[in-house]
Amino acid sequence: MFQWYRELNAPERKTFHACYVGWATDALDTQLFSFLIPTLVALWAITNSEAGWLGTSALISSSIGGWIAGIMCDRIGRVTVMKIAIAWFTVFTIASGFANSYEQLLVARILSGIGFGGEWAAGAVLMGEVIRPAYRGKAVGNVQSAYAVGYGFAALLSSVLFATMPPENAWRWMFWIGALPAFWVFWGLRGVEEPEVFLKTRKALADRGEKISPFVIFHPRYLKTTILCSLLALGIQGGGFSILIWLPTFLKSHYQISSVTVGYYVFVMTFGSFVGYIVAAYLCDLIGRRRNFFLFTVLNWIIIPIFLYTPPMGALSLVINFMLGFSLLGIYAALGPYFTELFPNTIRGNGQAFCYNFGRAAGAFGPAIVGMMATGSFLPLRDAMALCAMLAYIFVLVAVALLPETNGRDLSFEDDQPIAGKEDSTVGDASGTQTI
């Protein structure tokens, strides 16, 4: 299963390692907030709805930052944008730990979210272009498993800090310690170069005096791909967020356990997601991107109700938590390679980032909707979580049914000519430079 890793050349391995650590850091800083919801609700007397908006706001801002990063990826480079994004969310993650009110934390989370989206946008495109076609699904999917590593560390950090500190101090240290791995990422990015396919494409555009408009992804030639990829990302992330953001709160109330024990349960689920990412990455190249999405969608429709409605059953509950992580997060593994292969070289960063982050922004309303439905007596928390998650996966099936299979597509043969026909999509400016 891991023979592909041994066959990677030096540039491929260096890129893999840097992106892996970067994605783990992104996951750590994104998901640690979910462990703080019960504490912040108690300390600041905020409602579930307000807590939900703390999570949703960061996800929405990350979608904006992600699209901006994707556009910049196509202009100044994947590696450069990745470094900027990591520095950005590190600064504001540290700032989150100094917040003294709901409003201050909300602002810090919104600003940090801009960097979260940018890191994935740059890293996914970088990996997709550097890794050879035969191993693209496995490599990019395995990098996605770093999310489980970051999430697992967040769970472990939560358990340790809340066991050794009073809650009013522990939540602040969660943010401060969570920012430290970013320095490792910068070290790992040393010597990582821009993909050859990107450099050739940028040179070709410069030689022709052409500039690509950020809105070319909405040109009729690519509009269908943009819409369907956005729906795919919405379904996967909307379903995932509806469960993950509220997971610690649900575990604490459903199993009647402490914040420390919640961390252990989430750690088991995270280990399941780690296995799910690796299995999905392998299947991604073996059976294709589309079948992989179909398989994991069906698994989620089976596992989520079992998880939410099965009463506490000791060791069996841990097995169910493992399976939830396997299916809920494993489905993400194919997104990176699939989007990389669906968009051409000239707009890959832009298209991939827009679709993923549109899904993140729209899916971010899931936790807020869950919180609003669970506030008062409209719906119990688990019913709200189940409803939002199960409906979201319908978008996955619709999108995958209408998108083509791209397994093994060679990016070096992509057309570097203008995206749209010159007669209706290029306009000469005063300097003679064409804008597409």
Mean pLDDT of 299-328: 92
Number of neighbours of residue 273 by Cβ within 10 angstroms: 31
Contact 327, 303 (CB under 8 A): yes
Token output for 19: 């992106």
DSSP 8-state assignment for residue 410? -
Is the confidence at residue 427, as pLDDT, over 70? Answer: no
- Full strand arrangement of the beta sheet holding 427-428: 210-211, 434-435, 427-428
Token output for 387: 């409803």
pLDDT in the model for residue 277: 92
Torsion angle in degrees (nearest 10) through CA of 312, 315, 321, 323:
-130
Mean pLDDT of 186-197: 82
Q: How far, in Å, CA of 400 to CA of 294, rounded?
A: 8
Number of neighbours of residue 376 by Cβ within 10 angstroms: 10
pLDDT bucket at 107, cuts 50 / 70 / 90: very high
Is the confidence at residue 150, as pLDDT, over 80? Answer: yes
Number of neighbours of residue 388 by Cβ within 10 angstroms: 23
Both ends of the chain: CA-CA distance in Å?
Answer: 43
Least confident of 114-128, 215-229, 315-329, 416-430: 416-430
Range with top average pLDDT, 74-83, 187-196, 359-368, 420-429:
74-83
Name the β-bridge partners of 136.
none
Is the confidence at residue 257, as pLDDT, over 70? Answer: yes
Mean pLDDT of 165-183: 88
pLDDT in the model for residue 383: 92
Mean pLDDT of 408-434: 49
pLDDT bucket at 429, cuts 50 / 70 / 90: very low
Identify the CA nearest to 205 among candidates 79, 87, 350: 350
Phi-psi label, residue 408: left if phi above 0, alpha if psi -120 to 50, beta otherwise = left
Q: What is the DSSP string of 143-167?
A: HHTHHHHHHHHHHHHHHHHHHHS-H
Q: What is the DSSP string of 301-339?
A: HHHHHHHHHSPP-THHHHHHHHHHHHHHHHGGGGHHHHH
* Residues ≥6 apart with Cβ < 8 Å to 82: 19, 22, 118, 119, 122, 123, 126, 189
Range with top average pLDDT, 23-37, 291-305, 400-414:
291-305
Q: How many residues does the chain have?
A: 436
Least confident of 9-13, 112-116, 360-364, 432-436: 432-436
Q: How far, in Å, CA of 70 to CA of 182, rounded?
A: 20
pLDDT bucket at 127, cuts 50 / 70 / 90: confident
Mean pLDDT of 335-347: 89
Mean pLDDT of 172-181: 88
**Cα–Cα separations (whole angstroms), residue 158 to 9, 38, 105, 170:** 38, 12, 18, 8
pLDDT in the model for residue 253: 80
* Residues ≥6 apart with Cβ < 8 Å to 424: none
Domains of the chain: 9-182+199-408+419-435 (1.20.1250.20)
Is the confidence at residue 385, as pLDDT, over 80? Answer: yes
Name the β-bridge partners of 404.
none
pLDDT in the model for residue 412: 66
Q: How far, in Å, CA of 150 to CA of 280, rounded?
A: 18
pLDDT in the model for residue 391: 94
pLDDT in the model for residue 373: 87
Is the confidence at residue 234, as pLDDT, over 80? Answer: yes
Give the angle 170-176-180 at the CA atoms, nearest 5°. Answer: 135
Residue 231 carries which side chain, given as an amino acid letter? Answer: L
Q: How far, in Å, CA of 154 to CA of 133, rounded?
A: 33
- Which strand (E) or helix (H) includes residue 54? helix 48-76
pLDDT bucket at 243, cuts 50 / 70 / 90: very high
Contact 221, 215 (CB under 8 A): no
Is the confidence at residue 378, as pLDDT, over 50? Answer: yes
Average pLDDT, the chain: 85
Range with top average pLDDT, 69-73, 123-127, 311-315, 396-400:
396-400
Mean pLDDT of 289-311: 94
